């Protein structure tokens, strides 16, 4: 029988593999967490001290007091939230149109949307740099919000489109019979239904915006306006006599915390969104 | 009539009221303008920011209307350059003052980011600066930067070992090799000569010294002629590679930066070291094993030629976009002043950029070797003062590194470097 | 039939609304994706750098000619290709393994899936600092582990050694993006009906045989899609390298995007930077077209 064939040996192998996945996925993050709680003496001890002999919060206090880390977090949150909302606002109607209405050239647009997801940001960088310079957007969050909205649009359109395609047509037909306009129908009938899909794409867009590096590195030169990834990356070389390993670890932990929470809460949705965006597109 | 009068009266009150409000606003504006001090911002490495705290305090005490904010940047100087570059390139730069390494100046000036200081500094004051330091602040004949700290590369040698072996300090490249071998054979020194061979700016600076000793040049700034594939340049590369081949330098030197070399010298493992003057006070520190046992001189040269040191050093310029050019000028002049330089020298041991300070009794009392340093700085050579220096230097570093690590022959490497450098400089539209 | 000029019929009206709803998204995509590429294309025929006082001067094909003799460009291209090839291959292999494991029924599978997803979601720049710390030559835990296991005698300078540095970046990238591939492949695995396997098992096939004869062929479209995505992302890798090594030591980890960034932001050589963008775009486009073509062949074969 199939079940008896699955005897203990393969089962053991499975558990080993599961253990390995857990270990490899968590080890670097946990190591950073441990580092952030160690005293500087423990951090730079040779041979390495694995478990802190004494727990300390000094590095966390350090990044919030000596560095404006709260500020960086708020900057990141602001840019990510605004660009995510904009992206949903612009992307959802577009996705609806591409799912339901028969427009000439629709296939070309869809192919184009798919193709641009493959563009590395470095290819956009020079052109955007010129735009930022010419419009005087240096040290203006628009210089980040506009590109972030755009880079999240393709995924939003693809995910939302595949969602709309799964909705039964009858709803809209009924709405039309009732005399709703397209916009009214979108807002009053479809929007409530789409909330779960919006949350899914919103999370993906938020993660991408929170993590973006190259535009944030270049278009914001004022320290008080920097986002978390750039602020942390630039923290490493700025101590006088040593690299502030403890502070770096604490900053990494704090900077990743919002995303860890998102993953813990919305793992299923993220997976759905990713597969809908990539596979069905 | 009374109605008319009342109206007139009212009008008068209104007018005086308006005038008073206007006056008040103007006064308020004046107050607003003078009351809070002008804020100046400058980006420096974290190390400089820490060392410069006392200077900021002195400056602010002397200029109560100015507040100077020093932003701590990374300690790697090319990262500071990148931060300044992107902030100026984008516009809306947060920085009023620009603390610059000597090799960045042409780029910053050519890009139009710096205020022209040519007519702002009295000639009498300029006369006190060492010529190469001042020249490093000029681009196309205009002054953009006042030097606040000088630097010139040196050859460090173990005086005690030379005396023990009855040898004189080397004069020529041949001497350096021969003396190194002698000291190694006499089991005095593990290594002969250490330098910076990693692919970074330090390698270009070492090469400039060696190249000068062979009588060659990198880029001639007037005609923009590239001299990297000339025989002198190839000989210079062969010399560097030869130090590894002959066992005078450890093979790891091809990955060394300044501190790697200093560690070996200070631990007493090597007879000669190529380095900046910062290593001198460290080598003579109380806990240093080589304290009082070494001397310094200019890098050696070919027989019949003379040597020249690669000039380094820092200076301060003013961002063109600054809203406070006058205040910024006062800050620049303060940092370059004898008083400020003396303070920073006595604290940190940097070389001054003013002639008067090389003869300053207080300075000489603390650093007697400065007396000999003034001629070294006076004769120092600049790395090519071209706007595309960073690019040219990266090209040179790549091919030098390839030659040193045996991936290319010196001749082939220098030919490729020369070709690329020419392509870089010829594109002038 | 009478058609009043002011009124549109239902379909036309619908189309007009459709275009209106689509317009903002299209405009934004044109502004952020299409314009920069076209602009780079145009600029690549100009010299705009410190030698021209940052003014664009027509230069024909000069930039492209210069690229042909630019040793650094070819080295960065070689580095990028090596990085992309090795990391995507490793990620596909490990991602497939991970997907197979996560597709099994076992207690706590949801938790394991969540944990496995974590690396993908975290900011690359922060992860880069984490790996920099792990591979630190003096205090890094990797050196310590290897020494405790007796595999090395003294600590290796992983990030500072030109031979090793690229491998540290590959390790970090594999750690970070394998979950992404696993998720895509897992979705593919779940769509394969169990009936196939049962029928195959009844024919006396071993699990390994059914993996190669059923799983792999049916999963191939997903594998190609994942590979395509990862190929494009890996080829444009920037943040990880920038934070971990900055392209060093001595250019050993310099990728094309690091070189483009330096050309523009450090050298202010906009014309040449534009030409580098165009060539990278063209190369990438060619590779992606190739991938897309093979995908369409696969899909045609499947249906």
Domain span at A224: 59-280
> What confidence score (pLDDT) does residue B15 get?
61
Q: Between A126, A153, A245, which is nearest C277 by CB?
A: A126
Q: Which of residues 121-180 of C touch A (CB under 8 A)?
A: 121-134, 136, 138-139, 141, 144, 147-148, 175, 179-180
Q: Does A130 touch chain B (CB under 8 A)?
A: no
Alpha carbon C74 to its chain's center: 20
Tokens of A226: 């920097």
Scan residues 41-60 of C and list those with Cβ closer than 8 Å to A.
Answer: 43
Residue C140: partners with Cβ closer than 8 Å, 6 or more residues away:
C133, C134, C155, C158
Rounded mean pLDDT of C253-280? 94
Could you tell me the pLDDT band of residue C13, with boundaries at 50, 70 and 90?
confident
Does the pLDDT value for residue A268 go beyond 70? yes
A139/B90 CB distance under 8 A: yes
Contact B401 C250 (CB under 8 A): yes
Measured CA to CA, the distance from residue B11 to residue B8 in angstroms comes to 5
- The A residues from 4 to 63 touching B (CB cutoff 8 Å) are none
Query: How far apart are the C-alpha atoms of A10 and A83, rounded to whole Å?
Result: 47
Mutate to test the interface with B, among A129, A136, A221 (most CBs of B within 10 A): A221
Residue A28 and residue A128 in one domain? no
* Cβ contact, residue pair C97, A207, below 8 Å: no
Q: Give the domain ranges of chain C.
A: 50-302
Contact B419 C69 (CB under 8 A): yes
Q: What is the mean pLDDT of residues C193-207?
A: 83
Q: Which residue of B has its CA nearest to C61?
A: B427
Provide the mean pLDDT of chain C.
89
CATH class belonging to C50-302: mainly alpha
DSSP secondary structure string for all residues of C89-139: HHHHHHHHHHHHHHHS--TTHHHHHHHHHHHHHS-HHHHHHHHHHHT-TTT
Q: Does A188 touch chain C (CB under 8 A)?
A: no
Residues A219 and A87 in one domain: yes
Give chain A positions within 8 Å (CB) of B90: 129, 132-133, 138-139, 218-219, 221
Of all residues in chain C, the one with the smallest CA distance to A229 is C125
Highest mean pLDDT pick, A212-216, A240-244, C244-248? A212-216
pLDDT of residue B9: 64
Q: What is the mean pLDDT of residues C125-150?
A: 89
Would the CATH topology of B39-144+312-378 be identical to that of B152-310+385-426? yes
Distance of CA A28 to the CA centre of its chain: 19
Task: Find the residue in C nearest to A264 (Cα).
Answer: C114
Asked if C126's CB is within 8 angstroms of A256's CB, the reply is yes
Position B13 scores a pLDDT of: 66
Chain C touched by B15 (CB under 8 Å): no
**pLDDT score, position C302:** 63
Separation of alpha carbons B395 and B418, rounded Å? 9
Query: Looking at chain A, which subunits does it touch, using at least 3 CB pairs closer than 8 Å as the criterion?
Result: B, C
Tell me how many residue pairs between chain A and chain B have CB atoms under 8 A apart: 48
Put simply, the answer to whether A139 touches B74 (Cβ < 8 Å) is: no
**Contact partners of B by the rule of 3+ C-beta pairs under 8 A?**
A, C
Chain C CB within 8 Å of residue A2 CB: yes
CATH code at B152-310+385-426: 3.40.190.10
Chain C contact for B416, CB < 8 A?
yes
Mean pLDDT value across residues A63-89: 93
- Which chain A residue has its CA at the smallest distance from C105's CA? A14
Ramachandran assignment for B351, one of left (phi > 0), alpha (psi -120 to 50 degrees), beta (any other)? beta
Interface with A, mutate which of B41, B43, B84, B91 (most A CBs under 10 A) = B91
For chain C, which chains pass the contact test of at least 3 CB pairs under 8 Å?
A, B
The predicted structure's pLDDT at residue B12: 67
For the ranges A182-191, A203-212, B83-92, the lowest mean pLDDT is seen at A182-191
Query: How far, in Å, CA of C298 to CA of C290, rounded?
Result: 12
Contact with chain B for residue C221, Cβ under 8 A:
no
**Mean pLDDT score, C81-106:** 94
What is the pLDDT, as a whole number, of residue B243? 95
Q: For position C178, what pLDDT does the model report? A: 95
- Quote ipTM for the complex: 0.89
- C-beta separation of A208 from A152 below 8 A: yes
CB contact under 8 A, A221 and B47: no
Look at residue C276 and tell me whether its pLDDT is greater than 90. Answer: yes
What is the total count of domains within chain A? Answer: 2
Chain A residues closer than 8 Å to B282 by CB: none
pLDDT, residue B35, reads 55
Residue B423 — φ and ψ, nearest 5°?
Answer: -60, -35
Inspect the interface and report whether the beta carbons of A275 and C184 lie closer than 8 Å: yes
Q: Say if the Cβ atoms of B92 and A219 lie within 8 Å.
A: no
* Contact residues, chain A, for B92 at CB < 8 Å: 136, 138-140, 221-222
Cβ contact B76:A237 at 8 Å: yes
**CA B343 to CA B364: how far, in whole Å?**
13
Does residue A126 sit at the B interface (CB-CB below 8 Å)? no
**Does residue B244 contact residue B253 with C-beta atoms inside 8 Å?**
yes
- The DSSP secondary-structure symbol of B383 reads P
pLDDT band at A76 (very low <50, low <70, confident <90, very high): very high
Q: In terms of CA atoms, which chain A residue is nearest residue B48?
A: A240
pLDDT score recorded for residue B27: 56
Nearest to B146 by CA among B201, B98, B94: B98
Q: Do A221 and B86 touch (CB under 8 A)?
A: yes
Identify the pLDDT of residue B33. Answer: 46
Q: Is the pLDDT of residue C129 over 50?
A: yes
Angle, CA B152 vertex, CA B147 and CA B157 arms, to 5°: 155
- Give the distance from residue B307's alpha carbon to the nearest chain C alpha carbon, in angstroms: 28
Domains of chain B, by residue range, sit at: 39-144+312-378, 152-310+385-426
Q: Among all chains, which residue has been given the structure tokens 């984490």?
A: C130
- Gap between the Cα atoms of A31 and A50, Å rounded: 8
Kindly state whether residues A52 and A147 are assigned to the same domain.
no
Measure the CA–CA gap between C127 and C145, rounded to whole angstroms: 20
Spatial contact of A124 and C32, defined as CB atoms under 8 Å apart: yes
CATH 3.40.190.10 fits B39-144+312-378, yes or no: yes
Q: In terms of residues, how long is chain B?
A: 429
Among C residues 230-269, those touching chain B with beta carbons less than 8 Å apart: 248-251, 265-269
| Contact check, Cβ <8 Å, B94/A132 | no
B240 backbone dihedrals φ, ψ, rounded to 5°: -60, -45
Is-contact A229 A255, C-beta < 8 A?
A: yes
Region C123-140: mean pLDDT is 90
Q: Which residues of B touch A239 (CB under 8 A)?
A: 46
pLDDT recorded at residue C127? 93
Q: Do B255 and C69 touch (CB under 8 A)?
A: no
Q: What is the pTM of this model?
A: 0.87
Cβ–Cβ below 8 Å for C239 and A214: yes
A248 interfacial to chain C (CB closer than 8 Å)? yes
CB B423 to CB C249 under 8 A? no
C161, C268, C276: best to mutate for the B interface, most B CBs within 10 A: C268
User: What's the rounded mean pLDDT across residues C197-217?
Assistant: 84
Put simply, whether B412 touches C (Cβ < 8 Å) is no
Q: By mean pLDDT, which of A114-123, A144-153, B33-42, C4-13 is the weakest? A: C4-13
Looking at the DSSP bridge assignments, the partners of residue B45 are B73
Best residue in B44, B70, B92 to probe A by mutation, most A CBs within 10 Å?
B92
Per residue in A98-139, pLDDT (tens digit) is 988 888 888 899 888 888 888 899 999 999 999 999 999 999
Sort B325 into a burial class: Cβ within 10 Å, 0-12 / 13-18 / 19+. middle
> Which of A33, A56, A79 is the endpoint of a domain?
A56
pLDDT interval class at A5 (50, 70, 90): very low
Choosing from A39, A56, A73, the residue where a domain stops is A56
3-state secondary structure of B355: helix
Average pLDDT in chain A: 87
pLDDT tens, residue order, chain B (429 aa): 455 565 666 666 666 666 666 566 555 544 444 557 899 999 998 888 888 899 999 999 999 999 999 998 888 888 899 999 999 999 888 999 999 999 999 999 999 999 999 999 999 899 999 999 999 999 999 999 999 999 999 999 999 999 999 999 999 999 999 999 999 999 999 999 999 998 889 999 999 999 999 999 999 877 889 999 999 999 999 999 999 999 999 988 888 888 889 989 999 999 999 999 989 988 998 989 999 999 999 999 999 998 889 999 999 999 999 999 999 999 999 999 999 999 999 888 889 999 999 999 999 998 888 888 899 999 999 999 999 999 999 999 999 999 998 889 999 999 999 999 998 887 654
CATH assignment at residue A237: 1.10.3720.10
């Amino acid at each position: 029988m199939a079940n008896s064939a699955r005897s203990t040996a393969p089962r053991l192998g499975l558990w080993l593999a599961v253990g390995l996945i857990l270990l490899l996925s968590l080890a670097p993050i946990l190591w950073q967490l441990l580092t952030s709680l160690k005293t500087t003496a423990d951090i730079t001890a040779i041979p390495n001290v694995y478990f802190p002999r004494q727990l300390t919060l000094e590095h966390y206090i350090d990044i919030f007091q000596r560095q404006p880390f709260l500020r960086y977090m708020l900057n990141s949150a602001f840019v990510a939230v605004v660009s995510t909302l904009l992206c949903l606002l612009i992307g959802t109607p577009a996705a609806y149109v591409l799912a339901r209405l028969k427009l000439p050239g629709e296939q070309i647009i869809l192919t184009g949307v798919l193709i641009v997801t493959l563009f590395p940001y470095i290819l956009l960088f020079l052109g955007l740099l010129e735009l930022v310079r010419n419009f005087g957007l240096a040290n203006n969050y628009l210089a980040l919000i506009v590109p972030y909205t755009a880079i999240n649009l393709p995924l939003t359109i693809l995910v939302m489109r595949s969602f709309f395609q799964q909705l039964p047509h009858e709803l809209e037909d009924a709405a039309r019979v009732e005399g709703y306009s397209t916009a009214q129908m979108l807002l009053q009938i479809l929007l409530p239904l789409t909330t779960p899909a919006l949350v899914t794409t919103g999370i993906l867009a938020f993660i991408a915006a929170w993590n973006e590096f190259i535009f944030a590195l270049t278009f914001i030169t004022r320290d008080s306006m920097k986002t978390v990834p750039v602020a942390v990356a630039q923290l490493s070389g700025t101590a006088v006599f040593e690299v502030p390993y403890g502070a770096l670890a604490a900053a990494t932990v704090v900077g990743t915390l919002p995303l860890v929470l998102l993953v813990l809460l919305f793992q299923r949705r993220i997976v759905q969104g990713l597969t809908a965006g990539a596979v069905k597109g | 009539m009374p109605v008319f009068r009342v109206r007139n009266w009212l009008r008068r009150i209104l007018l005086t009221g308006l005038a008073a409000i206007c006056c008040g606003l103007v006064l308020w504006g004046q107050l607003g303008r003078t009351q809070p001090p002008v804020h100046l911002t400058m980006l420096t490495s974290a190390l400089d920011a820490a060392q410069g705290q006392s200077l900021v305090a002195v400056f602010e005490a002397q200029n109560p209307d100015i507040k100077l904010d020093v932003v701590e940047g990374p300690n790697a100087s090319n990262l500071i350059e990148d931060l300044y570059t992107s902030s100026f390139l984008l516009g809306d730069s947060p920085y009023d003052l620009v603390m610059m390494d000597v090799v960045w100046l042409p780029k910053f000036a050519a890009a139009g980011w710096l205020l022209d200081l040519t007519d702002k500094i009295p000639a009498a004051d300029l006369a006190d600066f060492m010529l190469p330091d001042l020249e490093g602040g000029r681009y196309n004949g205009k002054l953009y930067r006042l030097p606040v700290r000088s630097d010139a590369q040196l050859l460090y040698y173990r005086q005690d070992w030379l005396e023990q072996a009855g040898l004189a300090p080397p004069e020529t490249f041949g001497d350096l090799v021969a003396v190194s071998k002698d000291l190694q054979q006499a089991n005095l020194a593990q290594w002969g000569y250490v330098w910076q061979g990693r692919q970074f700016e330090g390698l270009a600076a070492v090469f400039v010294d060696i190249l000068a000793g062979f009588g060659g040049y990198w880029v001639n700034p007037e005609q923009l002629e590239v001299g990297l594939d000339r025989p002198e340049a190839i000989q210079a590369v062969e010399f560097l590679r030869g130090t590894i081949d002959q066992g005078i330098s450890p093979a790891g030197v091809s990955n060394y930066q300044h501190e790697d070399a200093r560690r070996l010298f200070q631990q007493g493992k090597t007879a000669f070291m190529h380095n900046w003057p910062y290593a001198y006070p460290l080598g003579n520190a109380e806990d240093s094993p080589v304290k009082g046992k070494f001397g310094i001189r200019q890098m050696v040269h070919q027989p019949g030629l003379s040597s020249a040191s690669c000039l380094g050093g820092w200076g301060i310029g003013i961002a063109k976009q600054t809203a406070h050019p006058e205040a910024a000028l006062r800050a620049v002049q303060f940092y370059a002043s004898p008083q400020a330089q003396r303070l920073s020298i006595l604290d940190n041991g940097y070389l001054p950029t003013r002639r008067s300070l090389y003869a300053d009794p207080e300075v000489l009392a603390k650093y007697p070797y400065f007396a000999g340093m003034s001629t070294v700085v006076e004769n120092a050579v600049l790395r090519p003062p071209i706007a595309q220096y960073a690019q040219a230097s990266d090209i040179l570093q790549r091919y030098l590194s390839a030659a040193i690590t045996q991936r290319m022959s010196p001749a082939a490497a220098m030919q490729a470097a020369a070709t690329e450098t020419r392509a870089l400089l010829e594109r002038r539209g | 039939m009478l058609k009043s000029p002011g009124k549109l019929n239902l379909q036309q009206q619908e189309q007009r609304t459709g275009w209106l709803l689509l317009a903002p998204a299209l405009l934004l995509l044109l502004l952020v994706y299409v314009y920069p590429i076209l602009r780079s294309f145009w600029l690549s025929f100009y010299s705009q750098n410190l030698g021209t006082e940052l003014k664009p001067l027509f230069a024909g094909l000069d930039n492209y000619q210069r690229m042909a003799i630019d040793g650094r460009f070819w080295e960065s291209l070689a580095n990028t290709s090596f990085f992309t090839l090795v990391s995507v291959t490793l990620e596909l292999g490990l991602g497939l393994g991970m997907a197979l494991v996560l597709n099994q029924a076992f207690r706590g599978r949801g938790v394991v899936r969540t944990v496995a997803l974590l690396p993908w979601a975290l900011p690359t720049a922060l992860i880069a600092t984490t790996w920099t710390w792990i591979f630190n030559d003096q205090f890094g835990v990797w050196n310590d582990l290897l020494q405790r296991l007796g595999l090395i005698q003294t600590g290796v300078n992983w990030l500072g050694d030109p031979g090793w540095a690229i491998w540290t970046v590959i390790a970090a990238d594999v750690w970070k993006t394998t979950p992404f591939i696993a998720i895509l492949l897992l979705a593919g695995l779940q769509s394969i009906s169990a009936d196939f396997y049962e029928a195959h098992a009844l024919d006396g096939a071993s699990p390994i045989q059914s993996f190669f004869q059923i799983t792999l062929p049916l999963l191939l479209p997903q594998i190609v899609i994942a590979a395509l995505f990862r190929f494009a992302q890996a080829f444009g890798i920037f943040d990880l390298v920038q934070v971990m090594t900055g392209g060093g030591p001595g250019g050993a980890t310099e990728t094309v995007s690091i070189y483009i960034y330096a050309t523009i932001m450090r050298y202010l050589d906009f014309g040449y930077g534009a030409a580098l963008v165009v060539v990278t775009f063209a190369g990438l486009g060619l590779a992606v077209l190739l991938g897309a073509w093979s995908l369409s062949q696969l899909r045609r074969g499947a249906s």
